[in-house]
Amino acid sequence: MARRRKLAVPGAEQGVSRLKAEVMRREGYPVNPERPDDVKYEVAEEMGVPLKPGYNGKLSTEDAGKVGGKIGGSMVREMIRIAQEKLSKRT
């Protein structure tokens, strides 16, 4: 099945990739800034999830969610922190 993930802001892909790389580096993962999506394999290995490059059709939804939740949750926490910081500077 093809990925249909699109960001709401056209052209934001590079910024989101930089955020992912920075956040996951702070979480202690080795991240190649040129390929920040590869950090998912490090996260999966740490969590005992058998995620491999290529087809992962036998991977359970629960396992995929563990990996995506770890990465996405960290990114959301960082975005909230940034927003709160910006809002506090307004007042």
- Give pLDDT tens digits for 49-78: 999 999 999 999 999 999 999 999 999 999
pLDDT at 4: 64
Looking at residue 49, its pLDDT comes to 96
Q: Which is more confidently placed, 39 or 90? A: 39
Q: Residue by residue, what is the 3-state secondary structure of the chain?
A: CCCCCCCCCCCCHHHHHHHHHHHHHHCCCCCCCCCHHHHHHHHHHHHCCCCCCCCCCCCCHHHHHHHHHHHHHHHHHHHHHHHHHHHHHHC
Q: What is the pLDDT of residue 24?
A: 92
Residue 1 pLDDT class (50, 70, 90 cuts):
very low
